[in-house]
Amino acid sequence: MQPARVALVHLGCARNLIDSELILGRLAEQELVVTDDPGSAHTVVLNTCSFIGPARAESYAAIENLLERKQRGEIERVVVAGCLVQRYKRGLAATYPDVDVFAEISDYTALATSVRSLVDGKDVAAYLDSPGLRPAERDGARLLATPGSYAYLRISHGCDHTCSFCAIPSIRGPHRSKRPSVVLDEATELIAAGVRELVLVAEDSTAWGRDFDMELPDLVQALADLDGEHRVRIMYAYPNRFPWDLLPLLAEHPRVVPYLDIPIQHIATPMLRAMRRAGSGDQVRAILDRLRREAPGITLRTTVLLGFPGESDADAAELASFVEEYGLGRLGAFTYSHEEGTPGAELTEGHVPEELAEERRDAVFAARDRVLAEQQVALVGQELEVLIDEPAGPDGLLVGRTDADAPEVDLLALVDPGQAPAAGVAERVRVRVVGTDPEHNLVCQPS
């Protein structure tokens, strides 16, 4: 077999990044040379996202860009995989007939085999159907696309919630937990490879284990107790039916990061009910109050949605006030996206103009930024521990994070090593905070 260069373009969330890493692993097994430069590749594989309108627009634009480059002769083959294909299936193939192969979500062995055949000049099927819902089994070998400091660890697939704005269950299927032994085996390999932070991801992490009479704290305890120098961070925790036995681990276990990503989506009770989120605004407040009371010092991150049909000015103002009242400096905010096949798509009244939804989102971001500025400035002069994610760049600064910040979505700690030897990626270093930058990242020096 001839050597060939193949590039992968990744779009979407951390869960989708794991799929991209699986695709890279399968391509390597076919003795294909993987490059991060699509311009030097024979074939480019695009792993798409279809979560909300802007994500779909990005995926469509990426497909069209790759096909234009193929037409100019800059690349020979284009393969499109992932959520967008899974959602629209052969309809997407009809829209883009010049794509060489479409692949639904799978273990991606067939995708890699097809790429190998394309490189070898052989005919391949133009569409690869998924063999069915991906079983909650051990993921195959991955080529990590994250730094050596952290890696994502998927603990389950799918979601059983029926949020009226969300298409994920129709794409990823119902919730299926991976067995503890499977997750622990994957974690052990990551730790042995030098990973210092295991970032647990799922469509709904707090549902883990309920399909076989276990709860998330059982898994977190087992992961934290593995031999190594790692820590465990929990993302995507659904707030209702929360496994409260997790709190002692968040509060006390030295290897469980005192951090929780807990998307609430809104705080106004009418909006929570319209979104088909369980509970009320008062219940959301009570959950956050208990988290902070029983795990003092915990950092809470959340995600909110503005502009859902029926949202009033008062609802949006309540959310912005809540962000400041509860000091939610780690926060993502999105505007409502009309999603085919979701209950929200059937609503015929109360639509919020896009411009107004964006204004409300921006008001929430402004509230968040006021909180962030205050929280980060309060750290100036303190000593903290930082995990280094990236080596020093042209500016001479190491890029790291404190425990209060998850990778990719939160803030950075920029470390000027000065005359001291620069720390390597995946090292934890003690620093003194000397200031903040315009984006509220910490500016630090070794302590």
- Backbone phi and psi for residue 48, each to the nearest 5 degrees, phi listed first: -90, 165
Residue the block writes with tokens 């069915």: 132
- Backbone phi and psi for residue 174, each to the nearest 5 degrees, phi listed first: -70, 165
Q: What is the pLDDT of residue 273?
A: 94
* CA 370/CA 321 separation, integer angstroms: 11
Q: What is the pLDDT of residue 416?
A: 93
Residues 358 and 390 in one domain: no
Once rounded to an integer, what is the mean pLDDT over residues 112-123? 92
Residues 83 and 164 in one domain: no
Q: Cα Rg for the chain, rounded, in angstroms?
A: 22
Looking at residue 399, which CATH number applies to its domain?
2.40.50.140
Domain range for 259 is 150-376
Residues 360 and 417 in one domain: no
- 152/343: higher pLDDT: 152
Once rounded to an integer, what is the mean pLDDT over residues 147-175? 88
Q: What is the pLDDT of residue 420?
A: 67
* Amino acid (1-letter code) at residue 27: L
Question: Which of 11-15, 97-101, 393-397, 407-411 is the least confident region?
Answer: 11-15
Residues 67 and 104 in one domain: yes
What is the band of 282 on the pLDDT scale with cuts at 50, 70, 90?
A: very high
Domain termination site, one of 94, 128, 162: 128
Assess contact for 209 and 218: CB atoms under 8 A: yes
Assess contact for 159 and 76: CB atoms under 8 A: no
Residues 163 and 109 in one domain: no
pLDDT at residue 408 above 70?
yes
pLDDT tens string 333-363: 999 988 777 777 777 788 999 999 999 999 9
Residues 329 and 276 in one domain: yes
Looking at residue 15, which CATH number applies to its domain?
3.40.50.12160
> Which pTM value belongs to this model?
0.92
* Amino acid (1-letter code) at residue 46: L
Q: Which residues neighbour 218 within 8 Å (Cβ) at sequence distance 6 or greater? A: 180, 209
pLDDT tens string 54-73: 888 999 999 999 999 999 99
DSSP H/E element including 335: strand 330-335
Q: Which residues does residue 306 pair with via DSSP β-bridges, in sequence order?
A: 335
Buried-state track 64-100, b at ≥16 Cβ within 10 A, e below 16:
eebbeebeeeebebbbbbbbbbbbbeeebbeeeeebb
Asked if the structure places residue 138 within a domain, the reply is no
Residues 17 and 109 in one domain: yes
- How many folded domains does the chain comprise? 3
Asked if the structure places residue 140 within a domain, the reply is no
- 99/5: higher pLDDT: 99
Q: In what order do the strands lie in the sheet with 101-103?
A: 33-35, 5-10, 43-48, 77-82, 101-103, 127-128
Q: Which residues does residue 428 pair with via DSSP β-bridges, in sequence order?
A: 387
Would you call 256 helix, strand, or coil by DSSP? strand
Strands 428-436 and 383-390, how do they pair?
antiparallel
What is the band of 13 on the pLDDT scale with cuts at 50, 70, 90?
A: confident
Residue the block writes with tokens 């937990």: 177
Domain termination site, one of 322, 348, 376: 376
Looking at residue 251, which CATH number applies to its domain?
3.80.30.20
Domain termination site, one of 376, 401, 427: 376
Buried-state track 236-257, b at ≥16 Cβ within 10 A, e below 16:
bbbbeebbeebbebbeebebbb
Q: What is the pLDDT of residue 3?
A: 63
Residues 104 and 193 in one domain: no
Here the tokens at position 116 are: 């190998």
* CA 307/CA 92 separation, integer angstroms: 28
- 184/138: higher pLDDT: 184
123 alpha-carbon distance from chain centroid: 35
Q: In sequence order, which ranges of 30-124 are alpha helices (DSSP H)?
A: 53-71, 83-88, 90-95, 109-119
Assess contact for 315 and 266: CB atoms under 8 A: yes
Here the tokens at position 350 are: 């109360």
Residues 363 and 416 in one domain: no
* CA 20/CA 279 separation, integer angstroms: 35
pLDDT tens string 168-199: 887 888 899 999 999 999 999 999 999 999 99
Assess contact for 401 and 410: CB atoms under 8 A: yes
Average pLDDT, the chain: 92
Percent of the chain scoring above 70 in pLDDT: 99
Q: Which residues does residue 82 pair with via DSSP β-bridges, in sequence order?
A: 48
